[in-house]
Structure 1
Amino acid sequence: MLRSTFSRIAVVGAAAATLFAVSSGPALADAQTSDKTITLPNGRGYMKFHDDGDVFEICDTKADGNGVTGTLKKQYVAGNIATMWTDGDGGDNGCDKHPYNVGNDGWYQMTLKWNGGGATVTSEWFNE
């Protein structure tokens, strides 16, 4: 009797683990590939990661006297988080571009804020 109870628990545990692996696989794959874009509300700007070439684009899209500031953070495998760089755009034509080689030795996150105040927009964590 005791043996069959353990067998049932093992089967249920294996089924749950399989379900978790299947359901989380596509979400993790999406976080690891392609371009990423975050956008500020009210058309104030955006920050985009171009996977082909590893270039970040920071764009102030509203002529309101305030620019935007983008930041790239990295979470290392050990768990600590560091700011890799901060760059801004505003007051000139075109967007600012910041080349940075994103690897797969940790996870990266973009943040973007409007320099006139308000909340910061944050991307999901991603890598290549």
Structure 2
Amino acid sequence: MGKKITRIAVAGAAVAAVFGGTASTAQAAEVGTLDTNIVISLPDGRGKMTFIDNGDMFEVCDTRADGHGVEGAVIDDQGRRKITVTDGGDAGCDKGGWNVPNGWDYFQMTLAWDGGGPTVYSRSFNE
């Protein structure tokens, strides 16, 4: 019986290590410095917003011809808007540049469809 309990304990520890490692990785991915572009998308294929790290550009695309546009923004960790980019009613996507500063401030992208529904948020990031 002692060997059976030991095997169960070892198996349980292995499972905990696997899931513990996964949780840590997920948390690290939620907030961090930029090392790649960030993309967020609205439900039902209504639009997307991309942060292009090379040049600090924010591209907003209305991907549905439904009479409504999309609005993307960057907010700081105090909820203040730093840039707003909208798209809708024309061909192509719209872009806006804003230099993401280096430092301790964290920023987050938001994207909303002007026909209603929930706003989508990116993970927090900084440079």
Structure 1 residue 85 displacement after superposition: 2.0
Matched, 1:116 2:118: no
Unpaired stretches in structure 1, ≥5 consecutive residues: 1-18
Q: Distance in 1 between matches of 2:66 and 2:29?
A: 38
Structural mapping, 1:1-128, within 5 Å: 23=24, 27=28, 31-33=32-34, 34-75=36-77, 80-105=78-103, 106-128=105-127
Structure 1 residue 87 displacement after superposition: 1.9
Secondary structure (helix, strand or coil) at the match of 1:42 reads helix
Q: Distance in 1 between matches of 2:67 and 2:106?
A: 34
Conserved? CA contact 2:108–2:121, under 8 Å = yes
> What is the letter of the counterpart of residue 63 of structure 1?
A
Q: How many residues align?
A: 103
> What is the letter of the counterpart of residue 73 of structure 1?
I
Structure 1 residue 36 displacement after superposition: 0.4
Conserved? CA contact 2:110–2:120, under 8 Å = yes
Secondary structure (helix, strand or coil) at the match of 1:81 reads coil
Secondary structure (helix, strand or coil) at the match of 1:31 reads strand
> What is the letter of the counterpart of residue 88 of structure 1?
T
Q: Deviations over 1:33-59 (max 9, x none)?
A: 211010001110000000011000000
Q: Provide TM-score, normalisation by structure 2.
A: 0.73
Q: Distance in 2 between matches of 1:63 and 1:29?
A: 32
Alignment RMSD, CA only?
Answer: 2.3
Q: Distance in 2 between matches of 1:112 and 1:29?
A: 17
Q: Report the more deviating stretch, 30-39 or 109-118.
A: 30-39
Q: Distance in 2 between matches of 1:30 and 1:83?
A: 19
Structure 1 segments of 4+ aligned residues over 4 angstroms from their partners: none
How many percent of aligned residue pairs carry the same amino acid? 49
